[in-house]
């Protein structure tokens, strides 16, 4: 018999954007293992199937549920409705994780206003909308986590200035909300994933692709890219009672990349 969990997650309800794939899907499964329910927001145009997230949660077998909801985080009304759906389905909302994001390559000379604004609408303002909507329906204490990136959160990335700017902005947003919401017992933290193998990073056009990830492994002290499960477990920790005194922090999950001297 497995020992009872003491991280406080059993029975809690988490809202997760970007729930159709990658870290969002892995997080829904991680919450299910802890006995927590998930409302998984996913963009209708996402090529990944959020139904696979629901199936993966059900396969865990703890009785935890995953409710899929279509949402465009660039639309305030849809994000507000997503948060209300959590309360309608489960009667409460305890956790919000902003994991939805897009990644597009664009050298500065080709970076027009529309491309810049679209990136920030999703990767930065979408985080704010998610947290604002969640805070509006939460009655008690809770935890928010946003996914930043090693690109912008730590390093620069050529041909991706709009993405890096959005991800750097996420850190300032989380620090400020950690201060503002502390009186309500809501903790706000950010995770900074390094090179994690995901549908986004495997895109050879807008990101590194398989060959780029393989080459990067030579400069990662851990010797490999991270997995979405590893990133998800870090987020799960930050939203659990094990991190009850952690707020306004940025947790780097990168296999040592940012502290290792390049070979």
The answer as to whether 44 is a domain residue is yes
Residue 170 pLDDT > 60, yes or no?
Answer: yes
Residue-number span of the structural domain to which 189 is assigned: 13-253
Number of domains in the chain: 1
Q: Which residues are catalytic?
A: 163
The answer as to whether 234 is a domain residue is yes
Integer-rounded Cα Rg, in Å, for the chain is: 17
| Residue 4 pLDDT | 58
Q: How far is CA 124 from CA 85, 97, 111, 120, 225, in A?
A: 22, 13, 17, 5, 25
The answer as to whether 1 is a domain residue is no
How big is the CA angle at 47 (ends 43 and 53), to the nearest 5 degrees? Answer: 70
The answer as to whether 261 is a domain residue is no
The answer as to whether 17 is a domain residue is yes
Residue 262: which pLDDT band, with cuts at 50, 70 and 90?
confident
Specify the DSSP element, H or E, that contains 192: strand 186-193
The answer as to whether 25 is a domain residue is yes
Distance separating alpha carbons of residues 108 and 241, to the nearest angstrom: 43
The answer as to whether 2 is a domain residue is no
pLDDT in tens, 25-70: 999 999 999 999 999 999 998 889 999 999 999 999 999 999 999 9
> What CATH number does residue 72 fall under?
3.40.50.720
| Residue 263 pLDDT | 65
Q: The pTM is what?
A: 0.94
More confident residue, 131 or 3: 131
How big is the CA angle at 164 (ends 68 and 195), to the nearest 5 degrees? Answer: 70
Q: How far is CA 252 from CA 12, 111, 243, in A?
A: 25, 28, 15
The answer as to whether 45 is a domain residue is yes
Tell me what percent of the residues of the chain surpass a pLDDT of 90. 86
Distance separating alpha carbons of residues 227 and 223, to the nearest angstrom: 13
Residue 1: which pLDDT band, with cuts at 50, 70 and 90?
very low
More confident residue, 209 or 44: 44
How big is the CA angle at 50 (ends 129 and 78), to the nearest 5 degrees? Answer: 25
């Amino acid at each position: 018999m497995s020992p009872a969990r003491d991280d406080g997650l059993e029975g809690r309800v988490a809202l997760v954007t970007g729930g159709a794939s990658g870290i969002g899907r892995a997080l829904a499964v991680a919450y299910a293992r802890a006995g927590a329910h998930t409302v998984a927001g996913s963009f209708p145009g996402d090529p990944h199937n959020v139904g696979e997230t629901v199936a993966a949660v059900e396969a865990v077998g703890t009785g935890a549920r995953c409710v899929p909801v279509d949402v465009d985080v660039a639309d305030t009304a849809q994000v507000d409705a997503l948060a209300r759906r959590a309360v309608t389905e489960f009667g409460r909302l305890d956790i919000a994780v902003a994991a939805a994001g897009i990644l597009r390559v664009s050298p500065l000379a080709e970076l027009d206003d529309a491309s810049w604004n679209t990136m920030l609408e999703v990767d930065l303002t979408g985080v704010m909308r998610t947290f604002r909507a969640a805070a509006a329906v939460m009655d008690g204490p809770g935890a928010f986590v946003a996914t930043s990136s090693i690109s912008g959160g730590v390093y620069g990335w050529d041909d991706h200035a709009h993405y890096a700017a959005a991800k750097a902005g996420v850190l300032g947003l989380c620090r400020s909300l950690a201060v503002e919401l502390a009186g309500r017992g809501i903790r706000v933290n950010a995770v900074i994933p390094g090179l994690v193998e995901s549908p986004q990073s495997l895109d050879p056009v807008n990101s590194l692709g398989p060959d780029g990830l393989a080459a990067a492994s030579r400069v990662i002290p851990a010797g490999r890219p991270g997995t979405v499960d590893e990133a998800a477990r870090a987020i799960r920790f930050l939203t659990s009672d094990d991190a009850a005194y952690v707020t306004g922090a940025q947790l780097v999950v990168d296999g040592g990349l940012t502290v290792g001297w390049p070979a």
